[in-house]
Structure 1
Amino acid sequence: MKITSPIPYGKQYISEDDLNAVQEVLRSTHLTQGPKIQEFEEKFAAYIGAAYAVATSNGTASLHLCTMALNVKNGQKVITTPITFAASANCVRYCGGEVVFADIDPQTYLLDISSVEKLLEAASPGTYAGIIPVDFAGRAVNLEAFKQLATKYNLWIIEDACHAPGGYFIDSKGNKQLCGNGKFADLSIFSFHPVKHIACGEGGMVTTNNLELFKQLNRLRSHGITKGDDQYINSKDFAAGIANAADFPGWYMEMQQLGYNYRLTDIQAALGISQLTRADQGLERRRAIAANYFNAFNEKPFVLNQSGVVEGHAYHLYILEVENRLGLYNYLRQHNIYAQIHYIPCHLMPYYRQQGWNEGDLPNAEAYYRHCISLPMYPTLTDLEQEFVIDTINKFYHA
């Protein structure tokens, strides 16, 4: 069997419905700051099961908005995982906070709650402000357990759910808890990058059940400005003696705090709304692909660990841990299979090494990195293409 077309690790799918949705906006009167934004927010919140959603320009902007809304200050410490995209940590640095990495669970690849608890136990009260767990690869963090820990130490939680829209874990009562539903995290964030489950080109979303945080996020994503007809206006110093918001002229606005332009466009929102209609179909296909990989590589001697078949896993990535990872990576590329590595541990990046982190600080994360490789995973991956990927890996190991 030979397939000559390149097989990437991830890829977007744009349907005719997607194209029609975008064209409809292009023919409308609003390309940005129009009605599609709120429509996307409301439909995404309903899909996730959260009370509120705020659309943003990208996932990194979502993270930055969250740390601003939670008032991260200079010198405050926040705990996160080293196995994530750098933005999960960088958002703390944007606000002047200090990032503290805790090690991962070597079986799940998720932030290890026992490592987090050891950090908290060793610190004086008030040292840490919050925790940023990541639903890495699409596997949902047990946020119920993290919430208990956060409550004990008076911490907030930002859930980085960029890999896991539609993912879930089972709580202590046997109920499904969807990633981003706001039951255990103060804020959750999502990304709509092309390789994600919902592709808008760029884009992000913050979900929450906290009305005050929702209001704050809305202001911060748009320069910190509140318009006179905005239901969330809170200034007591109305201009020109105007007594209430209902009497505000249309031009009146207040910059109440320093914010950013982190807005999504109606073009992207329309694409997101269309993609959301088939999100469950995409999840079903991802889980079928994951099951095929698991069955193909289960008990293979060259496989040290793999993502496996896990209830609630959203499978943004399917990961193998293997011996001779570099050799396999290069061999796959020679056969037009473009696997990827997720991720170089954040604490070993030059920037964070300058903050005092060193090799050997987080042994589980470092061991994982030496062996991990992400296989092609996207809903339009065909059975024939997946079979070619599996056969090529087996040939490399003479399995």
Structure 2
Amino acid sequence: MADAPFLAYGRQVIEDDDLAAVAQALRADFLTTGPRVAQFEAAFAEKVGARHAIACSNGTAALHLAMLGLGVGPGDVVIAPTLTFAATANCARYQGAEVVFADVDPDTGLMTADTLAEAMTRIGGRPLKAVLPVHLNGHAADLPALKRVAEAAGAPLVEDAAHAVGTAMTFDNVPERVGDCRHSALTCFSFHPVKTLTTGEGGMVTTNDDALAQRVARLRSHGIVREPADFVDPEIGFDGEAPNPWAYEQQALGYNYRLPDVLCALGLSQLAKLDRFVERRRQLAQRYNELLPALAPLVRPVAQPWTSRSALHLFVVLIDFTAAGQTRRQVMEALRAKGIGTQVHYIPVHRQPYYRALYGEQTLSGAEAYYARCLSLPLQAGMADGDVDRVVGALGEVLGG
């Protein structure tokens, strides 16, 4: 096995039809702000079951656009789980809002109704503008339960679904899909290369609210309005009653968060294969689940909530490093020496120096317990079953050594 290829924890799957789609887009008239953007948005909205989808430059931009769309600003509070990537909290800070970090379940890493309710006790009378549940590792959070708690405080949910494109779930015997926004105002996706489908860099916001969709779409491109019916300055917009063909109005302070046509072409090609990619990830996860009991009790997979049929962006195990007599660094380095890449998802955001300086020291025990044990093993749609056997075998050797 010495010459076996290195297995990263995550990697894109790019096939010949993806290359052909990008090449065709490169030969087209529009490399950006052209027809493939609308095509990708329409196809994605249909796939997840939302009324609207707005493509943008990356997942962080999607989250920021969600905050902009909801009018989050100075003096407001949002609640986000601390067990996530920093962007979930940063998107509110960009707007001058404060972040209250919720703890998570120590075994799943997910924010729960109880941890959300506890976080609400630390708001201190400030207005709660939004709650941002994270579908960690691709596993769906309990949206109905979270919505009940958030709604009682007058706050909408904004789903951080960066890990969860393709995830399905069942609540009250009703099949749903992450992104359909049945319980949330907006859902935000990422198409980074390690995600289940990729556009290189890219993101998407979905919503069922017509006004929110229009606002997010305009803020994605400098807050510019091009529809004559919505112009507010007749001198700029019209020659008599006829609209000026060059006219546009900047009606708000927006950003350049556009996703180019060439990347939307890749997204369309990848989206057509999403079900295959998700099914393959589930098959690989099943193989892990068949083999990992041999390493118990030192190692156990993070369990999926029973409501979630996860797209499995990550395959995470919880390891008792103390009982193994090794640090996580030692385990990761030993695995890397065997050609296996691993990663840690995530350092709790409340422990990051920026947020510690802002809010002081905090103790969130569930997140700390999860972080202390978690390790992301390789999971890619292009992996073979034998690759899983190789990972589990190497992990057993490292922990047994």
TM-score by length of 2: 0.94
Q: CA deviation at 1:308?
A: 3.6
What is aligned with 1:314? Answer: 311
Change beyond 3 A, Cα 1:299–1:146 = farther
TM alignment of 1:15-30, pairs within 5 A: 15-30=15-30
Structure 2 residue runs without a partner (length 5+): 322-327
AA in 2 matched with 1:187: L
Partner residue in 2 for 1:225: 224
Partner residue of 1:388?
Answer: 390
Separation in 1, partners of 2:80, 2:304? 25
Preserved contact between residue 36 and residue 270 of structure 1 (Cα < 8 Å): yes
**How far did 1:304 drift?**
5.1
Structure 2 distance, partners of 1:345, 1:385, is: 30
Partners of 1:240 and 1:202 lie apart in 2 by: 36
Report if aligned partners of 1:198, 1:279 keep a CA contact under 8 Å in 2: yes
Per-residue deviation, 1:127: 3.1
> Residue 89 of structure 2 contacts residue 99 of structure 2 at CA under 8 Å; is this kept in 1?
yes
SS in 2 for 1:9: coil
Q: Any conservation in 2 of the 1:40–1:269 contact (CA below 8 Å)?
A: yes
Partner in structure 1 of residue 368 of structure 2: 366
Q: Which of 258, 271, 280 is the matching residue for 2:275?
A: 280
* Per-residue deviation, 1:169: 2.1
Instruction: Report if aligned partners of 2:191, 2:201 keep a CA contact under 8 Å in 1.
Output: yes
Residue type matched to 1:21 in 2?
A
Quick one: which amino acid aligns to residue 211 of structure 1?
Answer: D
Secondary structure class of the residue paired with 1:336: coil
DSSP-derived class of the 1:170 partner:
strand
Which position in structure 1 is the counterpart of 2:230?
234
Which residue pairs with 2:332 in the alignment? 329
Aligned match of 1:250: 245
Per the alignment, in what secondary structure is the counterpart of residue 84 of structure 2? coil
- Overall identity of the aligned pairs, in %: 39
Corresponding position of 2:203: 204
**1:266 and 2:261 matched:** yes
Corresponding residue pairs, total: 393
Per-residue deviation, residues 96-137 of structure 1 (Å, max 9, x unmatched): 000110100112210122021123256566532210000010
Structure 1: segments with no counterpart, 5+ residues = none
Give 1:350's match in structure 2, choosing from 337, 348, 353: 353
8 Å contact 2:292–2:300 — kept in the other structure?
A: no
Q: Deviations over 1:2-57 (max 9, x none)?
A: 55311100011111110111111111100000000000000000001000000000
Distance in structure 2 (CA, Å) of the matches to 1:51 and 1:126? 32
Alpha-carbon distance in 2 for matches of 1:220, 1:19 = 31
Give the Cα–Cα distance (whole angstroms) in 2 for the partners of residues 224 and 303 of structure 1: 53
RMSD: 1.9
Checking the alignment, whether the CA contact within 8 Å between 1:134 and 1:141 is kept in structure 2 is: yes
